[in-house]
Structure 1
Amino acid sequence: MTTLVNTSPAAGGSAFSWRSLAVRSGVFVLLAIMVVAFQAQEPAFLRVANIFSILQAVAIVALLGIGVTISSAVGGFDLSVGALAALAQMAVAYVLIVLNGSAAVAILATLGIGVLVGLANAFLIVRLRVPDLLATLGMLFLLAGLQLIPTGGRSIAPGMALLDGSAATGSFPAAFLALGRARLWNIVPVPVLILAAVALVFWFIMERTRWGRVFYAVGGSELAAHLAGAPTRRYRTVAYVLSSLIASLGGILLAARLGRGDVSAGNSLMLDAVAASLIGYAVLGASRPNVFGTVVGAVFVGVLLNGLTMLNAPYYLQDFIKGVVLIAALALTFGLARRSR
């Protein structure tokens, strides 16, 4: 007896294409649902001023997420980006306020700190073969403590009392503060423009150049990439240096926005940056670290937090709600992706 099986494309093709579409657009659908829900509850949510307020708020998180994405592309993971951004905003404030240095010197010195931290991470991970999570976790604690030492655990502000009893004589130049506060055409915040430029550059490098392909090849199989002739150690080192350099840039923008060096400013940066990077895996069904997805992930988190704030959701519920939404988004997208294979 012959069993008839319908093998025509129409039998399974429709379900597969719908599933594939859901995998590729799931994060965008959830983002749209959130926007519609928040707009229905708070008509001011979609005003231009609030939209750019959201983008300004997520710019620093997105920058740090791009750094995490680059380190993830080579098979690593950088947990130190949040602590480094916090150290960077304290360092740039220290040079400006305590040492009375110029904005250019403060920015260059802070970016230099980022490079040194990246090289230290790479030495531990690439040379000494310390697992990346352990090495960067240790660096996280080191940097979190280091930012407190020069001022005895106090924030840095103009006119503050120093440890020797004197008063700080420096100030934040207007040009420096403009990096975090100015708006192009009185609409687009400068940090958003900087994020757009950095994201575009690294999207192009990672997705459209040979260097980017080698980054992903190293992350896929370091041994295979090495046997193919790629300088894998060099690429992994560059990845961690770039991650730290971008985190330092994020810290500089944070100091420019706050107008001070705040010891508590970096408390949630690492978790939000990691969340943005991981959500990026689900954007357009990429299933791998990617710059575009990370920026979308940062916007996703920013829209959620902004909407909850506008609706006066209790602060003690916000992290719980954020976790529920993120888990749902990732579970839905990756669950559908697995079933579509």
Structure 2
Amino acid sequence: MTRLAIRYGFLALLAGLLIFFSVFADGFFGPRSAVFIFQSVAITGILALGVTCTLVVGGFDLSIGSVATSALMLSAYAMVVTGLSAVTAVALCLVMGAVVGLVNGLLIVKFKVPDLLATLGMMFLLIGAQRIPTEGRSISTGMTLPDGSTAEGTFAPAFLWLGRHRFDLILENLIPMPVVVFVAAGLLIWVFLTFTRHGRMMYAIGSNERAAALAGANVNRYKVAAYMISGVLASVGGILLAGRLGRGDIASGNNLLLDSVAAALIGFAVLGAAKPNAFGTAIGALFVGILLQGLTMMNAPYYTQDFVKGAVLVVALVFTFALSNAVKTRG
């Protein structure tokens, strides 16, 4: 019975949450509400998949939120201020994410800086760097630049398409592009971690780094690769957010870090995995989205939402690890 509770308890909680909000929140149960939930968690979920990759190798990336915001600001600056094309702006953002991930990885594996400290330092560095070119102001079409001139560039239609396009898949014009990217990224990371040799090697490193090294794994290379994947996925999230907003909003990524970390950690409880996994992370992101959407539709005060998210995270992790340890002890 305990094993069943560990494996299916979180999914039962998710089902119960859906039933509760469907009954008590008017308009919650419906296709448009479902699409809104997916849209609200798509960017967070993409970042959470990056966090998952670093957790798999026994690390942790605190810089993802600032990487996403930096990508948002960089893409806006590239098109609005310098007049570059959408393709160039996207390429710059992806390269930036990969370079940040590379630096994080090298700090950790070459200079032996603890992952939390390395990525925390990178987070503050990026927060400062993204504000310098515009002196802390958001970037929008026609804005006045620090030198007194006016920005003459605009967001390219192709770039806005990335954040605003909707596909006629199941319901007419209801499937946003970020949701499609989230699902595709989730499938790729799931297949990579679960079914490829490299993914299994990353799990081995996270489980026992020394044993993996003795078995012939290039531990440092895999760790650096995990942080580079995290950086690139965070940049993808920032690009999609910029495309959706149509401006470089300096404060738009404030909650990305906490929500994505919550989704990745809640994923530990899905199907009793007790380890980082792409499927659990996607379900965790969906769970957070359902929770916030339901609370909003029930007119719950906004200042209670972080408390509820934190409570759910604590309960999910305690439930998973406490019961898992109890089963191991009995066995």
Structures share fold, TM-score greater than 0.5: yes
Does residue 298 of the first structure (1) align with residue 285 of the second (2)?
yes
Does residue 209 of the first structure (1) align with residue 192 of the second (2)?
no
Q: Give distance in 1, aligned partners of 2:221 and 2:203.
A: 14
> 3-state DSSP class of the match of 2:143?
coil
Q: Would the aligned equivalents of 2:265 and 2:313 in 1 still touch at CA under 8 Å?
A: no
Q: Give distance in 2, aligned partners of 1:47 and 1:238.
A: 40
Which residue of structure 1 aligns with residue 34 of structure 2? 51
Which residue of structure 1 aligns with residue 327 of structure 2? 340
Q: For residue 169 of structure 1, report the CA deviation from its aligned partner.
A: 0.8
Q: Would the aligned equivalents of 1:30 and 1:329 in 2 still touch at CA under 8 Å?
A: no
Aligned residue runs from structure 1 range 65-84, under 5 A: 65-84=48-67
Q: Give distance in 2, aligned partners of 1:119 and 1:325.
A: 33
Q: Give distance in 1, aligned partners of 2:79 and 2:138.
A: 13
2:162 alignment partner AA: L
Q: Give distance in 2, aligned partners of 1:115 and 1:179.
A: 20
Deviating beyond 4 angstroms after TM superposition, the runs of 4 or more aligned structure 1 residues are: none
Does residue 139 of the first structure (1) align with residue 122 of the second (2)?
yes
User: Which whole-Å deviations, capped at 9, do the CAs of 1:154-199 have from their partners, x for residues lacking one?
Assistant: 0011000001111111111222111111111112111111111111
Quick one: percent identity of the two aligned structures? 53
Which residue of structure 1 aligns with residue 241 of structure 2? 254
Q: Give distance in 2, aligned partners of 1:333 and 1:27.
A: 9
Q: For residue 331 of structure 1, report the CA deviation from its aligned partner.
A: 2.1
Q: Give distance in 1, aligned partners of 2:212 and 2:309.
A: 38
Which one of 92, 104, 125 corresponds to residue 109 of structure 1? 92
> 3-state DSSP class of the match of 1:319?
helix
User: Which whole-Å deviations, capped at 9, do the CAs of 1:15-69 have from their partners, x for residues lacking one?
Assistant: xxx2111111122111111111111112310211110111011011111111011
Which structure 2 residue ranges, 5 or more long, are not aligned? none
Q: Give distance in 1, aligned partners of 2:313 and 2:190.
A: 23
**TM-score, normalising length: structure 2:** 0.96
Which residue of structure 2 aligns with residue 244 of structure 1? 231
Aligned residue runs from structure 1 range 22-33, under 5 A: 22-33=5-16
User: Which whole-Å deviations, capped at 9, do the CAs of 1:71-102 have from their partners, x for residues lacking one?
Assistant: 11111101100111011101011101101110
Which residue of structure 2 aligns with residue 276 of structure 1? 263
Does residue 288 of the first structure (1) align with residue 275 of the second (2)?
yes
Give me the CA root mean square deviation.
1.0
| Structure whose alpha-carbon radius of gyration is higher | 1
Which structure 1 residue ranges, 5 or more long, are not aligned? 1-17
1:276 alignment partner AA: A
Q: Would the aligned equivalents of 1:96 and 1:106 in 2 still touch at CA under 8 Å?
A: yes
Which residue of structure 2 aligns with residue 320 of structure 1? 307
Does residue 178 of the first structure (1) align with residue 161 of the second (2)?
yes
> 3-state DSSP class of the match of 2:131?
coil
1:151 alignment partner AA: T
> 3-state DSSP class of the match of 2:27?
helix
**TM-score, normalising length: structure 1:** 0.93
Q: For residue 340 of structure 1, report the CA deviation from its aligned partner.
A: 2.3
How many residues align? The count is 324
> 3-state DSSP class of the match of 2:28?
helix
Q: Give distance in 2, aligned partners of 1:227 and 1:330.
A: 32
